[in-house]
Every structure is written in C-alpha cells, then in structure tokens.
Amino acid sequence: MHSVQPRPASFRSQGPLRGTVKVPGDKSISHRSLMLSALAVGESRISGLLEGEDVLATAAAMRAMGAHIERTGEGCWTVHGVGVGGLMQPASALDMGNSGTSTRLLMGLVASHALTATFIGDASLSKRPMGRVINPLSQMGAEFTASPGGTLPLMVRGLVPAVPIRYHLPVASAQVKSAVLLAGLNTPGITEVIEPVPTRDHSERMLRGFGADLTVEIDADGVRHIRLVGEAELKPQTIDVPGDPSSAAFPIVAALITPGSEVTVTHVGMNPTRTGIFKMLEAMGADLTYANEREVGGEPVADITARHSLLRGIEVPPDIAPSMIDEFPVFFVAASTAQGQTITSGLDELRVKESDRLALMATGLKAIGAQVEEREDGLVIQGTGGEPLEGGATINSALDHRIAMSFAVAGQHCYHPVTVDDVSPIATSFPTFEAMMHNLQETH
C-alpha cells in the first residue's frame, strides 16, 4: 500500500500538451478479471491488467483465499482458479487498502462461501459505508460484525448454501449490484438484481464471458432485471483489459483546457455505461475525435484525440451521473475554465467516494481562484471563459487519487503552480500518471 509519508508535488503551466499516450488498464475490469479467473477451474490469462494498489489488493486477497496468481510480464498475469465454491479460509485479515471496489465485491464472494473473513482498510476506506452491501448479503444469509456506522474493520461469515434473493437496488451502484451477483454465483437458484438506473455493466459482460447463465431483461419502464443462475461453473478465459476511460479523462481534460494542446489516448474503453464524461465534454464544445473503434474482450475500445477547445458551461442532466461518476472531479476542473455557468445536481454519491468529492473539489477549486457554489448534491461553477485560474495554493487531497490528479490537471492552466499535499494515492489507480504528464510536456 502507498507510503504513510505524504509526498507533496507541484504542477505548473508549461505550455501545450502534445503526444500520444496509453493509460493503464481499466480498474473495474481488472478487479473483476482477477476475481472471476480465481473462481474458474483452470488457467486464465490476463493482459493489460492495471497494476495499481487497488487491484493488487484484490490479487492478494484472492491468493489468500486459495487462487494461484502469478505476474508473468508487464500487465500480464496468469490465474489458476479454485472453482465457484472453492475459496478457502484466509489465514489473516484481508487488507483492502484504499479500494472500495475490492471490499464490496469480495464481501459478496465471501458471503456465499464457507469461510469467515475480516476486511481492513486505510483511513479513507474505513469511513466509507458498507451497509449498502451488508443489507442484501445479510438477506442471503451471511453474518456481519461491522464497526459503528457499518464501516471497516468488519467481519463476514459466509453461508453455504446461501439464499437466492430478488434485490431492488436502492442506490445506483455497480459495486452493490456486483456484490449481490458475485454472491449469487455460489448460491442455488436464481439471484436477481433490479436496477432502475443503469450502472457500469462489466460484471454482467464478464460473467457471461466466463460462461455463467446470466440474462438481462429491460422491462416496459426501462428497468433492468439481471438474473443469474447460481452454482455456476466458470470456464477460464483470456482477457485483454482495455485502457481505463476514468484515467483517460485526466490527459483529455488537460489537453482541452491548455491552449495549443493536442493529445491522443489510445486503447480507451468505450463501454456506454462509462462514457458520460466524453458526451458532456462534447456538449460543452470539446473537440474530441474517435479513431480505430473496435471490440476487445467483449468491450468497445477506441483511440481518442482531444484538442484545446473553448468550453461552454452546461447543465448536466442528473441521470447521466452513473456513467461518469468517477469523472466529476476532473469535469469540475474543465467547468472552472469554461465560458459561463455549469450546473450539476443529483451527485450525493460523490460525498461517499474515496473522499467527500463535492466538498474537497469546491474547497480546492475556490483556493485556486475558481468561482464555485457548493450545494448539497452538486456544484455550480462559473467559468473563467478560457482564462487561466489563479493557482498558487496547496490542495488537501485526503487520500483520494482522483482529487490529486484533478488538481494536477488544473495546474496546467493556472498563473501560479498548484501544490497537491500528497500525490502518493495516485498509485491506487494510475501509477504512471506523473510520468505521462511529464512526457506530454516534453515531446515538443
């Protein structure tokens, strides 16, 4: 896990950003590829795996529960799975570091296995709500002992056989959906998740890819009914993980706001449940072009070129939020230098991410001279009309990788450098971020 010692860094405007870059593998797909490979019988091969701390926490946990996982080269991993139902009692607590996805999805897996596991995490993760997965998994028969407020450290005792449920998601969350589906893998009968607002569907795609009997029906009201037949037998796969659109958003916004820039990001995942950020930037007038559109391992992929653009403020429809939920911090940076007002709402979930992202972005952006009003469920931002922001402040990033990267991007278009108090959490999702930004500044 990243060092306890904070590592501050400053980011300054150094002229246009230019070049072609590849961002690391998709974090959501990387977690799922390790988990499902560990539950298949036989050897799966994964390439393009994100080797960030969050994903390494998942790998360590799957190893601790019996899977054989080996790194064979850069981003290349082989996994010998134990089969659905075959996970073993871990010898010690599972350290999830900063990773909410590892925690919630693994709680689902443990819930229907004959084992007891304790989950621990860092200061950020230990504040995040786990009740949202404890509720459905308790209905399936698992038992929980959690810290006050339903937080980590917590202990899960799985039940075999678990009880299949029909679960109506009370919050638009791919993590909750996935936790229930993963618990359903080793549960007799049909586990159903009812999803009124679509969230990222990597679990559904990958479960099908591994041979699970999973169907998705969209009813007359547009509500998704996801049904998984339990006691599944998963077959090992070869998986090529596409680049993470959430990571691609950082160099793309940096290019859009920095005069004279042109940046291409290759091999970016374009799953429609993830591309809300690109749609909203285009609605603001962003010059984005897509090339080489193709399909990789059941996921659409493209190369994206972003050219500096004068963005115009917009009102973001709240129903697009789940498809850009992790991109709001950097989107707020784009809005801060746009022409006119950007209004966002319906973003209560941002308050329970790796940090309270509404509060931290509002405070940090104001500190570097942006005009921001913080509301309960969103930010209202008055942009500079393309002018640089003032900069010259130190930002509290509160163990949140995306806050740190967002202010590194903001620093590209400020009069004075922006200092991020601790950039070490960036390694949870994008270990090559600083080197990439440096290369984009140097290639001309």
3-class state of residue 431 by DSSP:
coil
- Nearest alpha-carbon partner for 102 in 31, 204, 206: 31
Q: Which residue is nearest to ligand S3P (CB)?
A: 28
Positions that interact with ligand S3P (CB under 6 A):
28, 101, 173-175, 178, 200, 325-326, 349
Q: Is 224 annotated in some ligand binding site? A: no
Is-contact 256 334, C-beta < 8 A? yes
Nearest in space to 108 (alpha carbons), one of 152, 59, 144? 144
What minimum distance in Å lies between the beta carbon of 351 and ligand S3P? 12
Query: To the nearest whole angstrom, how small is the minimum distance from the Cβ of residue 200 to ligand S3P?
Result: 6
Distance of CA 93 to the CA centre of its chain: 24
Whole-number Cα distances in Å, 380 to 124, 142, 273, 365, 391: 26, 42, 24, 12, 19
The CB-of-173 to ligand S3P minimum distance in angstroms stands at 4
Which residue type sits at 224? R
Strand 299-307, strand 287-296: pairing: antiparallel
Given a contact cutoff of 8 angstroms between Cβ atoms, the answer to whether 398 and 124 are in contact is yes
Q: Which is nearer to ligand S3P, 1 or 393 (CB)?
A: 1
Nearer to ligand S3P, 58 or 191 (CB): 58
Q: Min. distance of Cβ 252 from ligand S3P in angstroms?
A: 18
Q: How far is the CB of 416 from ligand S3P (least distance, A)?
A: 31
To the question of whether residue 32 is assigned a binding role by annotation, the answer is yes
307 is in an annotated binding site: no
Nearer Cβ to ligand S3P (113/274): 274
Flag whether 63 is marked binding. no
User: Helix, strand or coil for residue 284?
Assistant: coil
Judged by CB, which is closer to ligand S3P: 95, or 354?
354
Whichever of 128 and 267 has its CB closer to ligand S3P, that residue is 128
Cα 426 to Cα 116, 331, 357, 409, 435: the distances in Å are: 31, 17, 15, 13, 12
Q: Are strands 143-147 and 166-168 parallel, antiparallel or unpaired?
A: unpaired
Active site residues: 326
Asked if 228 and 191 count as a contact pair (C-beta separation under 8 A), the reply is yes
30 is in an annotated binding site: no
The answer to whether the annotation marks 28 as part of a ligand binding site is yes
- On whether the CB atoms of residues 377 and 347 are closer than 8 A, the answer is yes
Please report, in range form, the residues annotated as the binding site: 27-28, 32, 100, 128, 173, 175, 326, 353, 357, 402
What residues form the annotated binding site for phosphoenolpyruvate?
27, 100, 128, 175, 357, 402
